[in-house]
Amino acid sequence: MAQQSSADPSKLTWVGADNGAASTTSARRELYLKLFSGELFKGFQRNTIARDLITKRTLKNGKSLQFIFTGRTSSEFHTPGNNILGNTDGTPPVAQVDIHCDDLLISSAFVYELDETLAHYDLRGEISRKIGYALAENYDRRIFRAVAKAARMASPITKSSFVEPGGTQIRVGTNDKASDAYVPASIVNAFYDAAAALDEKGVSGEGRVAVLSPRQYYELIQDTSTNALINRDETGDALQSGNGIIEIAGIKIYKSMNIPMFGKFGVKYGGGDTATSPNLTDPGNSGSFVSDSMGDQEPSTTPSGQKTVNDYGEEEKFDHSCGLIFQKEAVGCVEAIGPQVQVTSGDVSVIYQGDVILGRLAMGAAPLNPAAAVELIAGAAVGAGNNAEF
């Protein structure tokens, strides 16, 4: 029988308190958790863009959070001798919007206990980043669907003889073809129409943003290299990498694969050039990332009719959607948990000889001020059955 020797844990590359090496299982797990957490947060922050573009609050000790939305007020001339006790028309009107926290969102991986496996930093980093990506992807998809929903809604403020503006849909192009969504001149015109609509509805010009699909964004870059839509400071490699378009009509532009796009997320391939399909060629092996799924929950209500889960809509609700323009007041978001990381230990790890690494997040989003939301559509006229509420 061949002679065997035991491994010396101190020779592994775990940094700890014991002379530079984490020589106990608990110490290694503690360090692993810290490193994993850092990689997950980096992955999440890199891939979510929606988190900083809307109104976000932290939810504590409850299932929902109230957002108070105040409409505009009026001015009037004072009559000498009259008491001043607020405007005679009762303005400003106020509405309450309840935003609920959705079910717990998780992404996890099982890691075998062998020290040499845990010491492979490349593998650990790859797993942690992918979990962060998964959480960020779902986060953004819910936010962007909520923006599209806001663009189709009336104001939550209801007051006799006083009407607050609601959401807006802007058509890209004039043909009954979804391919209009990728025509640069049509996109630019839609931006100016959207900016005018937001101005006319009294929405602040500060913090206006747009989110387009990557293909739309790159079409703009190719077509606008000789006009003012390109930042002249971005040249050479920077421009080729997709940077350069800073804004149109004062609206800062982002690109994302997580906006609703003709019933999918980010892009829709094939189908011919129809009202709901832009006839884009599938590059092949595109996988299931481009889909309509985000782990949808069934909307539910209490016996009294109060919502308990936010409704983000189904695939058919976005057959003509092709971009979003909004200001941060358009959508409210509540975060109850995270993103956070948890790792199994103790008896569980002994039984399975490994650890489950879990990333989790609990949040919810819903329309707040519809007037601040614009949905770009193509392939149909506004109001032609494509603006139904969810």
pLDDT in tens, 169-204: 999 999 899 999 999 889 999 999 999 999 999 899
- pLDDT reported for residue 238: 47
Alpha helices, DSSP H, located in 48-120: 115-118
Task: Pick 120 or 246 by higher pLDDT.
Answer: 246
E strand spans, the chain: 55-58, 64-70, 94-100, 105-112, 158-159, 162-163, 168-171, 209-212, 247-248, 251-255, 260-261, 264-265, 321-326, 331-343, 354-367, 373-377
Pick the range with the lowest mean pLDDT from 22-26, 66-70, 96-100, 132-136. 22-26
C-alpha 17/C-alpha 22 separation (Å) is: 7
Residues 6+ apart with CB under 8 A from 357: 36, 108, 109, 110, 111, 127, 128, 131, 341, 342, 343
- pLDDT reported for residue 192: 94
Average pLDDT over residues 360-368: 89
Average pLDDT over residues 267-273: 81
Band of the pLDDT at 37, cuts 50, 70, 90? low
Averaged pLDDT of the chain: 76
- pLDDT reported for residue 224: 57
Domains defined for the chain, CATH in brackets: 13-68+93-296+308-377 (3.90.1690)
Residues 6+ apart with CB under 8 A from 71: 91, 92, 93, 94, 95, 155, 157, 159, 162, 164
Query: Considering the chain, what percentage of its residues have pLDDT values greater than 90?
Result: 22
Q: Please return the burial class of 363, using the count of CB atoms within 10 Å of its CB with bins 0-12, 13-18 and 19+.
A: buried
- pLDDT reported for residue 180: 93
Q: Which of 8-17, 264-273, 352-361, 375-384 has the highest mean pLDDT?
A: 375-384
C-alpha 351/C-alpha 169 separation (Å) is: 56
Q: Quick check: 138 pLDDT over 60?
A: yes
Question: Residue 133 — φ and ψ, nearest 5°?
Answer: -60, -45
Average pLDDT over residues 134-163: 86
Q: Quick check: 303 pLDDT over 70?
A: no
Q: Quick check: 40 pLDDT over 80?
A: no
- What is this structure's pTM? 0.79
Query: Considering the chain, what percentage of its residues have pLDDT values greater than 70?
Result: 67
Task: Pick 119 or 213 by higher pLDDT.
Answer: 213
Task: Pick 186 or 279 by higher pLDDT.
Answer: 186
Q: Around Cβ 233, how many Cβ atoms within 10 Å?
A: 10
pLDDT in tens, 342-362: 777 777 777 777 777 788 888
Q: Around Cβ 192, how many Cβ atoms within 10 Å?
A: 14
- pLDDT reported for residue 28: 54
Task: Pick 204 or 113 by higher pLDDT.
Answer: 204
- pLDDT reported for residue 189: 93
Task: Pick 113 or 101 by higher pLDDT.
Answer: 101
